[in-house]
Amino acid sequence: MTREINHFINGTHVTGTSGRSGDVFNPNTGEVQAKVALATADEVRSAIAAAEKAFPDWRATNPQRRARVMFEFKHLVEKNMDQLAEMLSNEHGKVIADSKGDIQRGLEVIEFACGIPHLMKGEYTEGAGPGIDVYSMRQPLGVVAGITPFNFPAMIPMWMFGVAIACGNTFVCKPSEKDPSVPMRLAELFMEAGGPAGVLNVVNGDKEAVDTILTDPTIQAVSFVGSSAIAEYIYATGTAHGKRVQAMGGAKNHAIILPDADLDRVVDDLIGSAYGSAGERCMALPVAVPVGKEIGDELVTRLKPRVESLVVGVSTDPDANYGPLVTKEHMAKVKGFVDQGVAEGADLVVDGRDFSLQGYENGNFMGGCLFDNVTADMESYKEEIFGPVLQLVRADNYEDAVALPSKHQYGNGVAIYTQDGDAAREFASNVNVGMVGVNVPIPVPLAYHTFGGWKRSAYGGVNQHGPEGVRFYTKIKTVTSRWPTGVRSGSDFVIPTMK
Ligand code: NAD
């Protein structure tokens, strides 16, 4: 019998009643391994109601006790790391080591959230006037929601609920229907860690569930990560319904390689960050921009054998560099971009489209592809491919190279490789992209900094985790108080000033 994945509402598993479900595939075999229930609007509303009911007590739980729950949750996730990684790998297709990385990056946000008593401290001014003190405090918003993509089924839910719940909010998570098991398991572990029922709920679903979240008046804020077209829709709809919204979208990250770069490092970094996780990362590096013909030629010569020898295998194979793509549909889309690149006149130096893994012929496996002589006017350059494909766009000089990421529709991450501190500094300062790596391929900021791109990579202007995350999930209240009340000076019809 096919396994069913339902909802986790008010501390218990709740069977879906919609009669609608989605297929959860095993990307290694292409087989349907489970059915995920797709919630009705009423089912989503019951999760929102559970979160609303849990809010007053959770908000009143002092921040140190809330932090203790997060500490315990962190221990339980660590204890269950192997099981979670296997579950993640089995639905997403990332290799086990990378699945553990996905969980670990989420845990680092939980570690950050354990500092919430300090992070939520307000400000105080004694004696702002005669007997007058002014103070401000950060308060949770209430019920908030997160809508997450398939490619980081552990890290991204933890980015969101880790900070939101530590701040005293209650949470409704709507994970990707492609790999929902890990978020469900995280919710169970949160309960086991002492999280009260209703504080963390998971509803599985599709557009119907998302639209309910976006329009329900109880939900105060929505955090979204996924593709840009949906991010735009989430931002427009959520804000039109009076919610605070942060919506992260797609990406096309460039590595600028100056002639003085350490090419050994560049090649190692490009191979890992373009092909790791089959390129299904929003901080992957799918575009390399060598500056000058000589370094461009040398880069292609060195990359070609490395791409040809990538080890593609089942996600549980410890020797595999990367595993299958998430679904057949997604693999067809990625291959379609490769076809398009060829049709547009780019040189396909390594063609991985026909790769097939012996014994797993029905799995979603694809070999690495390498393009040379890609140009900025090609559609295959303009769009996010999200697969194991690296495109080389050659530039004659530094200015032309930097213009590429700066003018691209996406502005998530970018990297520069150079030994020249001046060039690196000028680049970091002026490139029109939100996250910059200097001799670092995947500059995903650590949990106590903050994550977010620019342009079509993020809508809403407030980043994930770090101090920005705390700001997103709290509102500030400022109190001006007068004690003692004895001094009286009659009514004042002029606005009080400090003159
Ligand atoms: P997606 O946009 O297809 O799905 C994301 C979420 O939106 C899922 O929960 C899905 O159920 C929901 N959704 C899908 N279609 C919808 C619709 N029509 N209406 C309402 N909700 C809908 O994204 P994905 O394929 O799961 O994830 C990959 C994308 O996420 C890539 O574009 C990647 O770059 C991006 N991503 C961005 C970041 C970032 O921080 N910028 C991080 C990770 C992934």
Q: Are 275 and 366 in contact (CB under 8 A)?
A: no
76 lines ligand 1 (CB under 6 A): no
User: Are residue 291 and residue 229 in the same domain, yes or no?
Assistant: no
Annotated catalytic sites, by residue? 282
User: Are residue 370 and residue 234 in the same domain, yes or no?
Assistant: no
Above 80 in pLDDT, residue 428? Answer: yes
Determine what percent of the chain is predicted with pLDDT higher than 90: 96
Nearest CA to ligand 1 atom 8: 176
**Residue 175 Cα: closest atom of ligand 1:** 9
Mean pLDDT in residue range 38-46:
98
498 falls within a domain: no
User: Are residue 172 and residue 316 in the same domain, yes or no?
Assistant: no
Å from CA of 73 to ligand 1 middle: 26
For the CA atoms of the chain, what is the radius of gyration?
25
235 falls within a domain: yes
Å from CA of 173 to ligand 1 middle: 14
Alpha helices (runs of H) in 344-385, residue ranges in sequence order: 379-382
Q: Which helix (H) or strand (E) holds 100?
A: helix 96-113
Nearest CA to ligand 1 atom 39: 248
457 lines ligand 1 (CB under 6 A): yes
Above 80 in pLDDT, residue 158? Answer: yes
Mean pLDDT in residue range 355-379:
98
**Residue 451 Cα: closest atom of ligand 1:** 40
Q: Is the dihedral of CA 257, 263, 264, 265 positive or negative?
A: negative
230 lines ligand 1 (CB under 6 A): yes
User: Are residue 90 and residue 211 in the same domain, yes or no?
Assistant: yes
Nearest CA to ligand 1 atom 42: 282
Long-range contacts of 122-126 (CB under 8 A, 24+ apart): 122/476
226 falls within a domain: yes
Q: Could you give the CA distance from residue 464 to residue 434 in angstroms, rounded to a whole number?
A: 12
451 falls within a domain: no
Nearest CA to ligand 1 atom 17: 207
Mean pLDDT in residue range 129-149:
96
227 lines ligand 1 (CB under 6 A): yes
Banded pLDDT at 193 (limits 50, 70, 90)? very high
Q: What local confidence, expressed as pLDDT, does residue 498 receive?
A: 77
Q: Provide the β-strand partners of residue 143.
A: 170, 219
251 lines ligand 1 (CB under 6 A): yes
pLDDT in tens, 49-65: 999 999 999 999 999 99
Q: Is the dihedral of CA 214, 55, 119, 173 positive or negative?
A: negative
* Nearest Cα to Cα of residue 187 among 207, 176, 171: 171
Banded pLDDT at 487 (limits 50, 70, 90)? low
Å from CA of 248 to ligand 1 middle: 9
Å from CA of 150 to ligand 1 middle: 7
Please tell me the total count of domains within the chain. 2
Q: What local confidence, expressed as pLDDT, does residue 184 receive?
A: 98
Q: What local confidence, expressed as pLDDT, does residue 442 receive?
A: 86
Q: Which helix (H) or strand (E) holds 59?
A: helix 41-60
In 57-105 the beta strands, taken as DSSP E runs, fall at none
Amino acid found at 413:
G
Above 80 in pLDDT, residue 499? Answer: no
176 lines ligand 1 (CB under 6 A): yes
**Token pair of 154, please?**
């552990």
Banded pLDDT at 202 (limits 50, 70, 90)? very high
User: Are residue 8 and residue 129 in the same domain, yes or no?
Assistant: yes
Q: Show the CA angle centred on residue 388, arms to residues 434 and 309, nearest 5°.
A: 130
Residue 8 DSSP SS3: strand
Banded pLDDT at 152 (limits 50, 70, 90)? very high
Q: What local confidence, expressed as pLDDT, does residue 119 receive?
A: 97
**Token pair of 9, please?**
């509402």
342 falls within a domain: yes
Mean pLDDT in residue range 72-97:
98
Amino acid found at 93:
G
Q: Could you give the CA distance from residue 492 to residue 26 in angstroms, rounded to a whole number?
A: 72
CATH number at residue 12: 3.40.605.10
Q: Could you give the CA distance from residue 120 to residue 467 in angstroms, rounded to a whole number?
A: 10
Above 80 in pLDDT, residue 48? Answer: yes
Q: What local confidence, expressed as pLDDT, does residue 497 receive?
A: 81
Å from CA of 148 to ligand 1 middle: 7
Q: Which domain holds residue 306?
A: 254-438
Beta-carbon contacts of residue 378 (< 8 Å; ≥ 6 apart) = 340, 341, 344, 345, 346
Q: Could you give the CA distance from residue 138 to residue 117 in angstroms, rounded to a whole number?
A: 11
Nearest CA to ligand 1 atom 18: 207
User: Are residue 372 and residue 462 in the same domain, yes or no?
Assistant: no
29 lines ligand 1 (CB under 6 A): no
Q: What local confidence, expressed as pLDDT, does residue 429 receive?
A: 98
User: Are residue 17 and residue 34 in the same domain, yes or no?
Assistant: yes
Above 80 in pLDDT, residue 492? Answer: yes
119 falls within a domain: yes
**Better pLDDT: 34 or 493:** 34
Q: Are 144 and 163 in contact (CB under 8 A)?
A: no
Mean pLDDT in residue range 192-212:
98
Mean pLDDT in residue range 170-177:
98
Mean pLDDT in residue range 16-29:
97
Q: Are 271 and 310 in contact (CB under 8 A)?
A: yes
* Nearest Cα to Cα of residue 9 among 166, 148, 191, 161: 191
pLDDT in tens, 275-325: 999 999 999 999 999 999 999 999 999 999 999 999 999 999 999 999 999
Above 80 in pLDDT, residue 468? Answer: yes
Q: Show the CA angle centred on residue 149, arms to residues 366 and 205, nearest 5°.
A: 115
User: Are residue 315 and residue 241 in the same domain, yes or no?
Assistant: no
pLDDT in tens, 322-342: 999 999 999 999 999 999 999
Q: Provide φ and ψ at 276, rounded to 5°.
A: -55, 145
250 lines ligand 1 (CB under 6 A): yes
User: Are residue 146 and residue 286 in the same domain, yes or no?
Assistant: no
Burial class from Cβ neighbours inside 10 Å (0-12, 13-18, 19+) for residue 19 reads exposed
**Better pLDDT: 485 or 313:** 313
Q: Could you give the CA distance from residue 451 to residue 463 in angstroms, rounded to a whole number?
A: 5
Tokens 């942060």 label which residue?
246
Above 90 in pLDDT, residue 484? Answer: no
Chain centroid offset of residue 90 CA = 20
485 falls within a domain: no
User: Are residue 116 and residue 259 in the same domain, yes or no?
Assistant: no
* Cis peptide leading into residue 180 (ω within 30°): no
**Token pair of 435, please?**
């996250």
486 falls within a domain: no
User: Are residue 228 and residue 305 in the same domain, yes or no?
Assistant: no
Nearest CA to ligand 1 atom 16: 207
Ligand 1 pocket test: pick from 36, 160, 227 the residue with the most ligand atoms within 8 Å of its Cβ: 227
pTM greater than the 0.75 cutoff: yes
Alpha helices (runs of H) in 276-315, residue ranges in sequence order: 293-308
Q: Could you give the CA distance from residue 212 to residue 44 in angstroms, rounded to a whole number?
A: 7
CATH number at residue 434: 3.40.309.10
Chain centroid offset of residue 235 CA = 16
226 lines ligand 1 (CB under 6 A): yes
User: Are residue 160 and residue 175 in the same domain, yes or no?
Assistant: yes
Paired sense of beta strands 132-140 and 123-129, if any = antiparallel
- The DSSP code for 132 is E
102 lines ligand 1 (CB under 6 A): no
